[in-house]
Structure 1
Amino acid sequence: MRTGEREGANGLAAAVQAAANLLRAEVERMRARGVPVGEDDLRGLYISDQEASRILDVAGTGSEPTPSLPHPAEELVEALGGRMARLAQVCRLSEAECATVALCLVTETDPELERLVAYVQDDVSKKRPRVELVLRLLWEDAVVGQRSFDADARLRALHLVRLHDEAGQAATPLLARPMTLDPRIARFALGGDAIDEVIGPFATLSPANPDNEAAPIDPGHLSPRVLGLRGTDLAKTRRIAGALARSLGLDAIVELNLTQVREITHREAFERAGREAALSNAALLVRGFDELDEPVREGIATGLDGIAPLVLIHSVGEPTWHGPSVVVARPTVEERVIEWQSALRPLAQDPGVDAALPALAAKFELDTGAIAEAAATALGLATAREPATACLTVEDLYAAARARSAPILSSLASKVGHHKSWDDLILEPDPQAQLRELCSMVEHRHKVYDEWGFGEKLSSGKGVVSLFAGQSGTGKTMAAGVIAGELGLDLYKIDLSGVVSKYIGETEKNLGAIFRDASLSNAILFFDEADALFGKRSEVRDAHDRYANIETAYLLQQIEDYAGPVILSTNLKMNLDEAFLRRMHFVIDFPMPEEPYRYRIWTTTLPAAVPLADDADFHFLARQFRVSGGNIRNIVLAAAFLAAKDGGSLGMRHLIQGTRREFQKLGRMVTEADFGEHMAHLE
């Protein structure tokens, strides 16, 4: 038996005797007044005088009458010792209120006292003390005592005791209502420290472990002691909550998630959690307050100045608690590196992992909790690959970091997978160099903006915004995929046809959803055919023109505020607003490939397993047909299907036929001169 429980058991024995003394005095008073208790022949249906005397004798009170105590509650409360004193202190109970709790406790834990309570109330079925009996035993002024059983008085508002209706009665008068003790209060008085089982499914009790986190303010100066904590990093919020708790000498944190509350009201959950915090010398951290309806929030707010030593209200967005609050900033790159190092320290890892952490931390703005989860995910990936000797690699960490980012953007975006490499991207030297510079800017923005101080000089965000301009098929989407692969980030393609709405205000709503999700996903956003929204702003002729310009300005602002890379593509660069172009960090032109690049595209598009005929003349195709890389890929694929149908190798006749079909799709005329000596291959 634990020390607290042993002390509770010893105190309970003394309390039983004290309660027996209290009831004996009442029995003597009843007998002296000639109250006819149990004077009939229905033995077994009532408690006889002889049975009452036997119980009193067993309780050790002797045969001599005990005179009435001037303050009978004092002996009962003192018998239960420190736990009852602690309860009285944190709940701010009067002596009579505390004695009420003690009387309910001993009655419910000793069967003999149950029978004695029934005897005093002259009903064998009434084993729980009624309000009338409690007032008679413990209050000098019964009228004043009745107020202690109002719904908003502490005995009931703090859920210490519960009043019941008599069986079969729709509404029992207050004085006739029996009462029971709350199970958590009973366990506490007897030395138990388990959390209230009523709130157990949606609340936790954990120690306020010491760490290096400093309290942002001194909560001792707050009145009431209620503070808002705003931020998306829940793990860091818990650390700050622990620091605030320790600054007040508190030992633990009770965390209540209001969004998970079931079967009881949100207000009761809050009241019980506050009581738990007071009994456990803990701070109360409330989550989900900002997700409740306003009337529910207002109902809870009226009880914020309760018995909890400190209440911390967490919100993800704008706080709905209008008192003092602090912002829990997302960890900096340096802090994320430290978190990664701490999470990976006990794990086996490749030598290059530690050197890769600064770049990893700069690319993925994970919070402290997500980093710990990502480390566990990386270990799972390594274990699946090498069960016996799991060793983390840089690739494991990047895959885990992507997995722990927001799992999916809204339905207005689609994830682009299977990224190509630089070898797959066939471009002229200058645009390829600009693409590498773009990657370098993303890689080193932390050093330039934060370490070198350029971030303080800039009014806009620290993201990297680029425009890819060129005809369809020139490699814009492939280039975005190459960049995503190089940086180890996910690429999401935005469907602007689903974003832009004819309804006023809907476009901004859609764009807001995209960037809100993207801010948590650490993703590259790729807006295809951006001229649909970024065309030259029109002269305002009506409300729709005005709102179209507002939509453009809104998206520009969202792009500038976004911390990650944004890529926009267009086929018609000349249609874009010049003010929009000035906001780009990079404007990269994707020209139609010239003959040498077309030849490379023709030859590299074919997989190595394709059986190729000797007459395939890629020099001729590259020289003769000025088409984009996308067109070439379509031609080669069509030719492959023609060759598969013939059951032989892919030859010139298949390539010529594929070229003809592609030209027909493009609406371009073809003549005999275009195919020259290979015209014979056309049917």
Structure 2
Amino acid sequence: MTEEDAATLPGAVRALLDRLDQHVDGVEPETALPRPDALDALASVFGLSAFECEVLLLCAAAELDAATAGRCAAASGSSRTYPTFSLALATLTDPHWSALTPVSPLRRWRLVELDEEAGLTTGRLRIDERILHFLLGAPYLDVRLHGLLRRAPVPKALPPSYEEAADRIATGWAEGDPDAPLRAELVGSDARTRSDIAAAAAAACDLNLYAMDAGDVPTDPAERDLLARLWQREAVLLPAALLLEIDEPGREQAAAAEAFLESTAVPLVLSSQEPRPSSRSRGERVTVPSLNNDEQLQLWQRAFADVPDVSDADIGNLVAQFSLPPHVVSAAAAAAQRDASGANAAGVAWRAGLDEARMGLDELGRRIEPAAGWGDLVLPDRQLRVLREIVAHVRQRATVHHEWGFSSTLRNGLGVTALFAGGSGTGKTLAAEVMARELGLDLFIIDLSQVVSKYIGETEKNLRKVFDAAERGGALLLFDEADALFGKRSEVKDSHDRYANLEVSYLLMRMEAYRGLAILTTNMKKALDTAFMRRIRFVVDFPFPAESERADIWRKVVPEQAPVKDLEPELLAQLTVAGGSIRNIALSGAFLAAEEGEHLQMRHMLAAAHTEYLKLERSLTPSEVQKWV
């Protein structure tokens, strides 16, 4: 056998079997066994002695050569036709008892498995399947980790600020915290963006990246220790780094994740939306930066370079409206390229951006598909002019802020904020819907009474989730029931009063910095603190509609195709109710008429009005229904 043959695993196995034959014949071996490169690599990374390397070769021989069984039995002088530690101690080079201990590299890293029930020295030794394949030059992820870990792809390109974040992680692994030199913490943005940055950091260190959810870390200590050992072994063999994604684990799961972190001594990135408190070092903390306007512009231009009929002006509008991470922009461009008919490519791109951006908000608020137009609003001219001015502020913010340079001189308070004040049913939500349709935006209604929490700090956390999700697409946010949070600023008597004022200040701060349009609604404008009112850019009062305005609402609320008979809007306008109640009465009357198979008439409206007034805890007066029937 040539030296070249001996340097392969099959060659080394044949040399070892010859050693067993020499032992049977009583011949003392003259030279050490040859070791293939893969075995040398294992010896280097796991600290194997020459004896432990030969133990691995002996176990590999049992899997690769059928003659091994007979030679093991002959060499051991027994009926044991398999490798054992006693056989290894008797036949291999420089044997030492410490190779048998659970903390030795062979057993600690599960390079071999020992049948302990049959005895430590006489139990069967098996080479781990993953290790055998590695020695044969067929690397793969251990099957016991399938389903727990997933390969994280390396992005083709990242914006410069993301590249800097990746460099910080790579540097942190090499030069970071002495207590956690191979660990880094990545916070902010969305999970896919964090994964892309971590994958770029791993690639810079010539590592693959695998990701795992913290919720999959076993809470049982023995299972968790096994997982940690298997992963550390994989990290060395592949080689690879791990991205551990932490969402909102419970206390037990969080403790399990912390224990897993402490037990892994290979490159690792802890990924989360927000920094999580810990008494232990987690290495370099890197926050995903916000992309500036130039980076966003380059991102959209590169993604839409192959999308036809999307002009520079269209790209400018998309950049002004959306603040999306690279993978979402690419998905929007792919959707536009698939669906664009040519003439409407920009519109498809806009809708694709909305689809991608709204995903984070759907769980936090009620989305309304805007369908109403300016013609559906019945308001005095002064209020309509203010609403159109608000639309202009949103639509032209890119021109004024960036092209004209106002963002550099004003810096703070560039968000478009408004307060809609008026009684229930006076058109506040309808006005927001009209504006959303005019701007081509989603309308999300956030019920502040549901956001406000009695627990200190929770309200601020809930508001942060809303704004962070909305920033991606600049949706129109309508915060309903602002009275739940606002009101006359209370005298600070205890910690709850202090935090209530902080929550209001935090909401206004986020509204002022929000790149879209944020609207508060209230039924009690006089109850609001004037100090807070000064921080709102627009205030629109929605008055109770006069009789002539109520008649206009009645004319608009009944569709042209509805079968009507002798309906008189002027008489219906005698009801002293706001637009919301008018819509309820018209709809209820229509159902009553449909049930009778009749045209919609005044008597149906009268019956529906009685029902609506009962709900409002009011009584119809004779003057309101005079001459109706």
TM-score w.r.t. the length of structure 2 is 0.81
Corresponding residue for 2:286? 326
Q: Does 1:197 align with 2:169?
A: no
User: 2:114 corresponds to which letter in structure 1?
Assistant: L
1:117 is aligned, of 64, 67, 72, to 72
Deviates more, 1:477-486 or 1:333-342: 333-342
The structure-2 alpha-carbon separation of the partners of 1:9 and 1:479, relative to structure 1 and needing over 3 Å to count, comes to farther
Rounded to whole Å, the distance in 2 between the matches of 1:408 and 1:246 is 29
Q: Does 1:18 align with 2:21?
A: no
Q: Does 1:161 align with 2:112?
A: yes
Kindly state the Cα deviation for residue 537 of structure 1 after the two structures are TM-superposed.
3.0
Corresponding residue for 2:582? 632
Corresponding residue for 2:534? 582
Rounded to whole Å, the distance in 2 between the matches of 1:181 and 1:108 is 8
Rounded to whole Å, the distance in 2 between the matches of 1:139 and 1:295 is 45
User: 1:316 corresponds to which letter in structure 2?
Assistant: Q
User: 1:273 corresponds to which letter in structure 2?
Assistant: W
Secondary structure of 1:76's counterpart equals: coil
Rounded to whole Å, the distance in 1 between the matches of 2:405 and 2:57 is 65
Instruction: Give deviations 1:49-90, integer Å, cap 9, x for gaps.
Output: xxxxxxxxxxxxxxxx5x4236x3xx231xx2x222233333
Corresponding residue for 2:238? 280
2:270 is aligned, of 303, 306, 313, to 313
Kindly state the Cα deviation for residue 186 of structure 1 after the two structures are TM-superposed.
1.0
Q: Does 1:560 align with 2:525?
A: no
Kindly state the Cα deviation for residue 192 of structure 1 after the two structures are TM-superposed.
0.6
Corresponding residue for 1:176? 122
The structure-2 alpha-carbon separation of the partners of 1:233 and 1:534, relative to structure 1 and needing over 3 Å to count, comes to closer
Deviates more, 1:185-194 or 1:423-432: 423-432
| Contact 2:217-2:257 at 8 Å conserved across structures | no
User: 1:103 corresponds to which letter in structure 2?
Assistant: L
Secondary structure of 2:110's counterpart equals: coil
Kindly state the Cα deviation for residue 324 of structure 1 after the two structures are TM-superposed.
1.4
Q: Does 1:216 align with 2:167?
A: yes
2:98 is aligned, of 123, 141, 147, to 147
Rounded to whole Å, the distance in 1 between the matches of 2:617 and 2:24 is 106
Corresponding residue for 2:500? 551
1:132 is aligned, of 82, 86, 94, to 86
The structure-2 alpha-carbon separation of the partners of 1:269 and 1:456, relative to structure 1 and needing over 3 Å to count, comes to farther
Instruction: Give deviations 1:396-447, integer Å, cap 9, x for gaps.
Output: 4444444434647698843334542222222223322332333344445556
Rounded to whole Å, the distance in 1 between the matches of 2:255 and 2:358 is 31
| Contact 2:151-2:209 at 8 Å conserved across structures | yes
Kindly state the Cα deviation for residue 9 of structure 1 after the two structures are TM-superposed.
11
Kindly state the Cα deviation for residue 638 of structure 1 after the two structures are TM-superposed.
4.5
Kindly state the Cα deviation for residue 535 of structure 1 after the two structures are TM-superposed.
1.6
Rounded to whole Å, the distance in 1 between the matches of 2:523 and 2:572 is 25
The structure-2 alpha-carbon separation of the partners of 1:591 and 1:236, relative to structure 1 and needing over 3 Å to count, comes to same
Corresponding residue for 1:98? 53
| Contact 1:471-1:591 at 8 Å conserved across structures | yes
Deviates more, 1:509-518 or 1:154-163: 509-518
Corresponding residue for 1:76? 34
Which segments of 5 or more consecutive residues in structure 1 lack a partner in the other structure?
Answer: 1-6, 30-64, 384-388
The structure-2 alpha-carbon separation of the partners of 1:449 and 1:327, relative to structure 1 and needing over 3 Å to count, comes to farther
The structure-2 alpha-carbon separation of the partners of 1:589 and 1:8, relative to structure 1 and needing over 3 Å to count, comes to farther
Rounded to whole Å, the distance in 1 between the matches of 2:299 and 2:261 is 36
Rounded to whole Å, the distance in 1 between the matches of 2:242 and 2:389 is 50
Q: Does 1:108 align with 2:57?
A: no
User: 1:628 corresponds to which letter in structure 2?
Assistant: A
Secondary structure of 1:314's counterpart equals: strand
Corresponding residue for 1:513? 462
The structure-2 alpha-carbon separation of the partners of 1:655 and 1:12, relative to structure 1 and needing over 3 Å to count, comes to closer
Kindly state the Cα deviation for residue 146 of structure 1 after the two structures are TM-superposed.
2.9
Rounded to whole Å, the distance in 1 between the matches of 2:455 and 2:10 is 71
Corresponding residue for 2:420? 468
User: 1:566 corresponds to which letter in structure 2?
Assistant: A
User: 1:296 corresponds to which letter in structure 2?
Assistant: A
Kindly state the Cα deviation for residue 574 of structure 1 after the two structures are TM-superposed.
0.6
Larger radius of gyration: 1
Deviates more, 1:582-591 or 1:406-415: 406-415
| Contact 2:451-2:462 at 8 Å conserved across structures | no
Kindly state the Cα deviation for residue 207 of structure 1 after the two structures are TM-superposed.
6.8
Rounded to whole Å, the distance in 2 between the matches of 1:394 and 1:116 is 75
| Contact 1:469-1:587 at 8 Å conserved across structures | yes
Q: Does 1:241 align with 2:198?
A: yes
Kindly state the Cα deviation for residue 337 of structure 1 after the two structures are TM-superposed.
4.9
Kindly state the Cα deviation for residue 619 of structure 1 after the two structures are TM-superposed.
4.6
Percentage of matched positions with identical amino acids: 31
Deviates more, 1:176-185 or 1:468-477: 176-185
- Map residues 370-385 of structure 1 onto 2, 5 A cutoff: 370-375=328-333, 382=339
User: 2:22 corresponds to which letter in structure 1?
Assistant: A
User: 2:444 corresponds to which letter in structure 1?
Assistant: Y
| Contact 2:191-2:272 at 8 Å conserved across structures | no
Rounded to whole Å, the distance in 1 between the matches of 2:156 and 2:61 is 39
Rounded to whole Å, the distance in 1 between the matches of 2:595 and 2:233 is 78
In the alignment of these two chains, the number of paired residues is 601
Deviates more, 1:8-17 or 1:572-581: 8-17
Rounded to whole Å, the distance in 2 between the matches of 1:367 and 1:8 is 53
Rounded to whole Å, the distance in 2 between the matches of 1:411 and 1:236 is 20
Kindly state the Cα deviation for residue 472 of structure 1 after the two structures are TM-superposed.
1.8
Q: Does 1:252 align with 2:213?
A: no
2:41 is aligned, of 73, 86, 89, to 86
Secondary structure of 2:138's counterpart equals: coil
